[in-house]
Amino acid sequence: MSAQAPAHARLAVDGGAPALPEPLPYARQVVDEDDVEAVARAMRSGRLTCGPQVEGLERDLAERVGARHAVAFSSGTAALHGAAFAARVGPGDQVIVPTLTFSASAACVLYQGGEPVLADVEPGTLNLDPAEVARRIGPRTRAIVAVHYAGVPADVEAIGALARRHGIALIEDAAHAPGARTARGACGALGDMGVFSLHPAKQLTAGEGGAVTTDRDDLAERLRRFRTHCMDRTAHERERGGGHAYDIAELGWNYRLSDIHAALGRSQLAKLDDFLRRRRRVAAVYGERLAGLPLDLPVVPDGVVSAWHLYVVRLRLDELSAGRDGVFAALRAENVGVNVHYRPLHLLSLYAGRGYRPGDFPVAEDAYARMITLPLFAGMGVRDVEGVCRAVAKVLGAYAR
């Protein structure tokens, strides 16, 4: 049944009463007393960094994903940088990245002196289009970054086949996709490396944090060295060996995750299945209640399981008297904390200066012009979901042609 709003309802942006009594954000972490106690135990342990909680988080995440290794980092962006380093991206190298993604997916290439080669996305899922990837592979291509947009797995089978054929690395940007799966397995275990974020907006959080999963011992070793200044022997390795000497042959960074953050991440990871169930319930209600309104709902292909990080709808602007930004402002006035994910990279000043311009990627640009992200997080209650549906129906009803 579609969401309904009274025909006479006056929009809050015009002075009417908002649909929700209090502002509802598009994302919010769910933290309980188990999480608080896990962090407290880590703080009492005497090992605040490079300790057993980091090792435990890595072990737990690798087991969950089905990978041989997981290497923790201080943020998802740091983890992406580590993956670019491990793939040996350097000056002159090119890496194919979807234009519809957060900046970090391409910034990690720039950090290494490489060149992001932007590509358009599929019209349905808004994931990286394998046909676009095939057209952009060249002699300088070092890697492909496949983003699992909004938690829906990208077509890693087709993209992975291209990567193997050309001998280049496939990096899954799985920041949106812990718990997402295809018939081949879990996201994060489908390429050479999988990159996760533990930011509070994601399905599980460490406060801040990230990780890279991989089956390859050589990549795992490079990742571990990179996050600790590329020292050939860490402080704990030197301590265990009774020596003090170390060497640095490549430029690395301090991207270590603390045990405090890791303790929260481990506690949250144990609840991931419950968090995903709750998100699926919200998405299912949206799918039922918003059907029939002048918008396109998210697309999840048969045979894959979405992690439902974001719920992105696309307005049918030809059926509305307001543009996306007008609808956005009206929903915000109704106390619905809508957002937009994302402005395509080629429309940002950083990439406009690299030869890209409007019109280069029509699928991504059309999606961006019409998209709005509705609230979706595990802590949403029935009243929250119903309030969002009422607000969307109210606003789109008022702007219907």
* Rounded Cα–Cα distance for residues 121 and 367 (Å): 10
Q: CB of 22 within 8 A of CB of 312?
A: no
Q: Does CATH place domain 33-269 in 1.10.1040.10?
A: no
**Maximum pairwise Cα distance, the chain:** 78
Numbered ranges of CATH 3.40.640.10 in the chain: 33-269
Contacts of residue 298, Cβ cutoff 8 Å, sequence gap at least 6 = 150, 152, 283, 306, 311, 312, 313
CA distance 194 to 220: 11
**Average pLDDT of the residues of the chain:** 96
CATH of domain 12-30+272-399: 3.90.1150.10
Residue 7 pLDDT > 60: no
Q: Is the pLDDT of residue 5 over 60?
A: no
116 or 1, higher pLDDT:
116
What integer is the mean pLDDT of 214-224?
Answer: 98
Q: 267-288: per-residue pLDDT in tens?
A: 999 999 999 999 999 999 999 9
The pLDDT assigned to 243 comes to 75
Question: What pLDDT score does 27 carry?
Answer: 98
pLDDT tier at 244, thresholds 50, 70, 90: confident
- What residue ranges of the chain are covered by domains with CATH 3.90.1150.10? 12-30+272-399
Give the model's confidence band at 217: pLDDT under 50 very low, under 70 low, under 90 confident, else very high: very high
**How far is Cα of residue 144 from the mean position of the Cα atoms in its chain?**
16
pLDDT for residue 8 is more than 60: no
Average pLDDT over residues 61-68: 98
73-110 pLDDT, tens digit per residue, is 999 999 999 999 999 999 999 999 999 999 999 999 99
- Residue 60 pLDDT: 98
Q: What is the mean pLDDT of residues 219-247?
A: 85
Contact status, residue 172 vs residue 193, Cβ threshold 8 Å: yes
- Pick the closest to residue 94 from 135, 139, 38, 35 (CA basis): 139
Of 40, 23, 22, the C-alpha closest to 31 is 40
Strand partners, 373: 312, 339
DSSP string covering 216-252: -HHHHHHHHHHTBTTBSS-HHHHHHHT-----B-S--
Cα distances from 360 to residues 97, 119, 344, in angstroms, run 14, 9, 11
C-alpha 99: how far from its chain's center? 14
What is the pTM for the complete model shown? 0.95
153-165: pLDDT as tens digits: 999 999 999 999 9
Q: What is the pLDDT of residue 1?
A: 47
| Cβ-Cβ contacts under 8 Å for 381 (sequence gap 6 or more) | none
Quick one: pLDDT at residue 185?
97
Residue 239 scores a pLDDT above 90: no
- Nearest by Cα to 131 from 359, 361, 356, 368: 361
pLDDT at 398 > cutoff 80: yes
**What is the tens place of the pLDDT at every residue in 181-213?**
999 999 999 999 999 999 999 999 999 999 999
Residue 88 neighbours by CB under 8 Å, 6+ apart: 142
Give the SS3 label for residue 58: helix
Which residues are designated catalytic?
202
Q: Is the pLDDT of residue 61 over 90?
A: yes
Examine the pLDDT at 320 and tell me if it is beyond 80: yes
249 pLDDT higher than 70: yes
Q: How far apart are CA 90 and CA 109, in angstroms?
A: 8
Confidence of residue 235 (pLDDT cuts 50, 70, 90): low
